[in-house]
Structure 1
């Protein structure tokens, strides 16, 4: 039997997730640049960014059903090939269509990484699932911090002219960790998934997916994913005209997330996964409120509080399912991830069109928005368009605020349910003692 080196597998998994997160951070940083470079509307930008989000659930759901059949290693080789194709196609993109296809490849790669690595982490650390999922997923905000800093610092330091644009170089940076994780996974041996190791049949696994608690968690995943990922991906677009440091807000928010996930173990053990989720919803709502109703220095306060709020959402949702609904196996974990990303893709597409309509409503009656968007800097039309965006961005944030408010109520119900379930379990133990 081949030895399983769980530390090396965990490191390689983190590198794969780093590529995923770099794609989010770098894309968030160059979204406005792509809009200017290829003359794209906010709706087209939303469609391109959203492609990564619906490509992700497509891959993660299909991968969830395949992972026990073909194994985690083969899935991760496929993820590497898709990442490679997506990065290269993005660098050589010529417009909306090529950006759409290349972003879809990256989205599919990102989902395939999630489909293989989430069950891999729970198989490697069955005694500490939620904590290790948080440690693994700290590389998602970590990569966004790295990616957004790459964009911010290179934009400040370099001006490239000639055959290669700066944004192409920024995207190309992702090739480095992609090649590293592809090499690492090709050399390592993998365990079977936790569900297979426990002897849970495929029939039992599919039956457990109909558990009302699992369905409830799927619905809540819609809200937690939108709250975290839509805001993070669009913060530069929404607040660009409110502050000159919109991208730094993303960096601060995700930096808080890295720190929080790294310190997950005592937090999760002190408050329980469901308790952490309730606290997260409260802080997320407060952070969004500040971001949507403030300017200047208070925006940084909002970013810090919001980062504290969304910090534990994604990995703790997965950890809750892994700990309390273990028979759902890899399919359950991947359905959770797929549901979250699917919700974000739908919400992002809807909000892109809504954002355009908000901007148009604040321009003079009958104005052609493209003429205002492409007006020369400093002209009356450009200033009017800038003011329209300045008002429209916070309005989108305020609409999104409704979601974590609903989550506060939902997670309160979950905490009461789990507390009652523990009490019932104790009574059953006493009866049989």
Structure 2
């Protein structure tokens, strides 16, 4: 068996590109979906949330079986789910078809990470966190490309269905590439760590701490990016805000090697939380150049996801593929719950700002240019800013948590050196 780690890494990046395109394009077409299918924020939140709980469902199950069935079979499953989910989205006819198609894509996305995160750490044991950052730069990269597709295709007058259909191209390519390549066994299997040893490592207080922190880092990054087009309609072009944020994240993750060499992963996480909190504050108080604010936020969140995974795999290697995938599952599941909760919150607050006798559904279906539509849009804009304000308290909590992590790791490293 000949393992071509360069080809495997490139194919992995392409599969993650499809995952991120689904986020970027969906972020760009959420307004179209809301207006075309007459969806309120609760319904839109429920549809969006399915991608986030479909992901953890797949990533956790995938983490449990990847050592048994192998990474290649898992990626074949991801290809099938991606193909099915994209086609279902294109031909969606309402709430439930959008719900099912988004769930299917979420399952595909989780299956990709369930296989590719342990694949990357297996292929590059000497530089796990750096290569995870390089791999995960294709997540903001795909969002960047996806939002540009939305902007270009919308300007050309092309439908949202065609925008979604562009994801079929990289899907078919990565499916073909993986079908032709040989795969190694996972790192846990090759190192001889038993299943019992893996589950014992998962009970470590350090893993539990990082598992909880992953919920906060994921919400800060993914919820904000996915909902900015809805939450910040009153400030410039919200799609361009997502594009600016994603662009700086690509650059940051591409420069991960010198950053991680200068600062330990725990130090990078502390700096990230601090800058992300500042970025969110700038976004919800912005009265000037919102793109500068978006860039600050992008710098803050760019290292969160891959560095959290890399920290766990480097410091708790016995947790193996399941440890990586439980972290990813925790992140996406927390975003799902937060999205659903905030969807209800937005509808509740917006309904309270409407004229007496007007229901939320009346406002959603209000005629373009009517006074009710204007009141509804104004209420959503104000509430969107409020949601970002509430979300900003999460990275503030992470600053405290990662300060403790820096102190703990300094003490642990000092004791290990004695």
Please give the TM-score of this superposition, normalised by the length of structure 1.
Answer: 0.95
**CA distance in 2 between partners of 1:348 and 1:40 (Å):** 15
d(CA) in 2 for partners of 1:325, 1:235: 35
Mapped pair 1:225 → 2:224: no
Partner of 1:187: 180
Equivalent of residue 307 in structure 2, options 316, 323, 342: 316
Q: Aligned pair 1:376/2:375, yes or no?
A: no
- The residue number in structure 2 matching 1:431 is none
Matched, 1:259 2:258: no
| Superposed counterparts of 1:139-218, under 5 Å | 139-158=138-157, 160=158, 166-218=159-211
Secondary structure (helix, strand or coil) at the match of 1:21 reads helix
Deviation of 1:390 (Å): 1.6
For each residue in 1:190-212, what CA deviation from the matched residue of structure 2 results, as whole angstroms up to 9, or x when unmatched?
A: 01111111111111011100000
Assess if the C-alpha contact under 8 Å between 1:243 and 1:296 holds in 2.
no
Q: What does the per-residue CA deviation read over 1:301-355, in whole Å, with 9 as the maximum and x for residues that have no partner?
A: 2101100000000000000001100000000000000000000000000000101
Is the 2:39–2:364 contact (alpha carbons within 8 Å) kept by the matching residues of 1?
no
Aligned residue number for residue 412 of structure 2: 421
Q: Which residue of 2 aligns with 1:21?
A: 20
- Report deviation, 1:296: 4.0
Work out whether residues 38 and 364 of structure 2, in 8 Å CA contact, stay in contact via their aligned partners in 1. no
1:86, 1:105 within 8 Å by CA — same for their partners in 2?
Answer: yes
Q: CA deviation at 1:373?
A: 2.6
User: Which residue of structure 2 lines up, in the alignment, with residue 115 of structure 1?
Assistant: 114
Alignment of 1:266-281 (within 5 A): 266-281=258-273
Cα distance in 2 for partners of 1:40, 1:391 equals 19
Mark the runs of 5 or more structure 2 residues left unpaired by the alignment: none
Gaps of 5+ in 1: 161-165, 428-433
CA-based RMSD of the aligned residues comes to 0.8
The alignment of Structure 1 onto Structure 2 pairs a total of residues equal to 418
Matched with 1:68 is 67
Deviating above 4 A after TM superposition, structure 1's stretches of 4 or more consecutive aligned residues are none
Q: Return the alpha-carbon distance in structure 1 between the equivalents of residues 13 and 49 of structure 2.
A: 24
Q: TM-score, normalised by structure 2?
A: 0.99
Distance 1:365 1:424 in 2: 66
